[in-house]
Amino acid sequence: MEKKPNFIYMLTGLWFTIGVLFFLMLVIHTTYYLDQIASYKSLSYGQSDFAASMRFMLIIQFSLFLFIVICSYIITYGTFIKKSWSWLFGIILTSFLGFYIFQGIQLIGYSIMLGSFGTMFSNLYTGFQFILYILIMFFVPILLFILTRPYVKTYFRKTEIIIPKSY
């Protein structure tokens, strides 16, 4: 049996962790939006348009997070069993997750400008969202770094390492 490089175990662990984080975010977003929709059902007709837009936002957020969770677990499986396509899908999903880096910077900047940095953890929704964005700000560059290492590319059969002859 061929020994896997340590980077592969780190890569598999990071993909699995991202899947777990986005699954938790999916659950928290869904409960938050369902509570918001329920609170606006009892209002007048003018406010029901807001509830309809909240339902649309729930569907979009749910679909996006479910897509990320499913892709993350598929890439975890593909990485562990040495499938060549998982490297490409990993690069694509990593660049897609780069959007959350900018959202995290925006969230941090917005909370600092309002002076409410300490109240970010006042409820579960904003607290976990803040933690998720901070973790994604660290995980995405690490994923990109690991995916571009020569030994990882060789593992996925994307390139070959040529060992120079010593004279």
pLDDT in tens, 40-75: 666 555 556 666 777 787 888 889 999 999 999 999
Domain boundaries, the chain: 6-155
pLDDT at 141 over 60: yes
In whole angstroms, what separates CA 62 from the centre of its chain? 13
Looking at residue 31, its pLDDT comes to: 84
pLDDT at 19 over 70: yes
pLDDT at 27 over 70: yes
* Residue 44, amino acid: S
Nearest to 33 by CA among 16, 2, 57: 57
pLDDT at 4 over 80: no
pTM reported for the whole predicted model = 0.79
Looking at residue 100, its pLDDT comes to: 85
d(CA 158, CA 160): 7
Using CA atoms, how far residue 97 sits from 42, 100, 137, 155, in Å, is: 37, 5, 9, 23
Most confident of 24-38, 77-91, 125-139, 151-165: 77-91
Most confident of 25-34, 60-69, 107-116, 146-155: 60-69
**Percent of the chain, pLDDT > 90?**
21
- Mean pLDDT, to the nearest integer, of 154-166? 71
Using CA atoms, how far residue 109 sits from 25, 128, 133, in Å, is: 21, 17, 12
